[in-house]
Structure 1
Amino acid sequence: MALNATLDAVESQRPCVEEHDYSQRAQWLRAAVLGANDGLLSTASLMMGIGAVKDDARAMLLSGLAGLVAGACSMGIGEFVSVYSQLDIEVAQLKREQRAGRGDEASGERLPSPVQAAAASALAFSMGAAVPLVAAGFISSYRVRLGVTAAAASTALVVFGYTGAALGRAPVGRSCMRVVVGGWVAMAVTFGLMTLFGASAL
């Protein structure tokens, strides 16, 4: 009887552990999708903005590369600082619990890693930023290059919107539409403003 009760207790706790693990994985995956979405949209908008005032493929490529490097560094450093602050808080809380006799070793194993978070954030941003660069960075025709940049960004936005909705168990169609329309607005605003003000400034 005691053995059966112990087995039942273990089985009852297992779904909670699995649900916790799934929740942790989902949070990391959603953060990766958001980072890739940021990289894609910021780089594509930057390339569209430069393309509005210069029809030079090299200028668009260099602007996209600069956006990728700067954005990846910014995302990585920002994530490192943010997670390190969270780590300091959790370590302090863990020490208080241990002094009170409520802490355990498993709590220390679940502490976040600032380096891992920074690397993941920078990598996700870089992967998203690489989409418009690879798709249109080396196309010589000006109009085709702009069209391919917008098309590649739109396709990737649909993928990111679908992935984010699937992970968050949200309506897929609405999520994809929201992400794509938001991306179109960002690219259109950047292209339009650079068309109006960029030419005279340069």
Structure 2
Amino acid sequence: MSTDASDAGIDLGPHPDEPHEGTGFNNRLNWLRAGVLGANDGIVSVAGLVMGVAGATSDSSVIALAGLAGLTAGALSMGAGEYVSVSTQSDSEQALLQKERRELLEEPEEELAELAHLYVGKGLSEELALAVARELTEHDALAAHAEAELGIDPDDLTNPWHAAGASMLAFVIGALIPLLTITLTPPDVRIWATGGAVALALAATGWTSARLGFGAARPAVVRNVAGGVFAMTVTYLIGTLLGASII
């Protein structure tokens, strides 16, 4: 009896709806997520800031200046923080890969046995696990061991510059939504207009983050919007109370 995959009706081709898209996917996903998180932080933090200032004063220039300062500081902080975080992860990955290269060079038989043992743990028989380990080692020893032992793809390491740049740019784009809305709309409607614009923007980032994480979109959107509205409400009330007491 033939065990060929095509005879069994098994499709071994690419499946675009699944998260396995080959080399480079993890790195792209890393900076995409950093970008979404950066945009979300930009929306919420600057919306809260300008809402708080708007609660204390109706002077559009003061509100705009506060928002611009928050945008600049937040974008720089977000980019620097993302760069440091991802650089630490990248350094760890490089160190682990270097250790694996050294072990493969100095102890090839022990490493082969270790790889086979890992496949036995995944459910293969000892004979098949050893055969798979030998074949993968002959093809690309480092890639085989890095994936099985460390969960790392040597050709798809995280890039701190990509993550930092995406996060910083996304923060600026996100922050511009509440900043432009509150400064360009008439004073009598700007609070509601900004709240509506921010809610829509947070719904979009919540949906996008859920899609990137292959999770349910509705709970992510509700959490995102609720958190942003809560932050704006609290800062607006604080600004109103402090503004009234100071003025």
What's the CA shift for 1:39?
0.3
TM-score, length basis structure 1: 0.82
What's the CA shift for 1:23?
5.2
- Equivalent position SS for 1:121: helix
RMSD: 2.8
Q: In the TM superposition, what whole-angstrom CA distance separates every residue of 1:28-65 from its partner, at most 9, and x where no partner exists?
A: 33332121011001111100000001101111111111
- Structure with bigger RCO (C-alpha 8 Å, 6+ apart): 2
Q: 1:32-51 to 2 correspondence within 5 Å?
A: 32-51=35-54
Equivalent residue, structure 2, for 1:63: 66
Equivalent residue, structure 2, for 1:184: 229
**1:103 aligns to 2:156 (yes or no):** no
Q: Is the 8 A contact 1:87 1:111 kept in 2?
A: yes
- Equivalent position SS for 2:188: helix
Q: Which of 128, 131, 140 is 2:177 aligned to?
A: 131
Q: Quick one: distance in 2 between partners of 1:125 and 1:27?
A: 16
Structure 2 counterpart of 1:98, which letter?
Answer: R
Q: Quick one: distance in 1 between partners of 2:91 and 2:194?
A: 42
- More displaced 10-residue stretch of structure 1: 192-201 or 144-153: 192-201
- More displaced 10-residue stretch of structure 1: 76-85 or 13-22: 13-22
Unaligned runs of 5+ in 1: 6-10
- Distance 1:175-1:107 versus aligned 2 partners, 3 A rule: closer
Structure 1 counterpart of 2:180, which letter?
Answer: V
Unaligned runs of 5+ in 2: 6-10, 105-140, 144-151
Equivalent residue, structure 2, for 1:146: 191
Q: Quick one: distance in 1 between partners of 2:14 and 2:222?
A: 37
Q: Quick one: distance in 2 between partners of 1:71 and 1:148?
A: 23
Structure 1 or 2, whichever has the larger Rg, is 2
Structure 2 counterpart of 1:90, which letter?
Answer: E
Q: Is the 8 A contact 2:207 2:217 kept in 1?
A: yes
- More displaced 10-residue stretch of structure 1: 84-93 or 45-54: 84-93
- Distance 1:163-1:190 versus aligned 2 partners, 3 A rule: same
- More displaced 10-residue stretch of structure 1: 188-197 or 72-81: 188-197
**1:77 aligns to 2:80 (yes or no):** yes
The sequence identity of aligned pairs, in percent, is: 42
Equivalent residue, structure 1, for 2:202: 157
Q: In the TM superposition, what whole-angstrom CA distance separates every residue of 1:115-135 from its partner, at most 9, and x where no partner exists?
A: 222111101111110111222
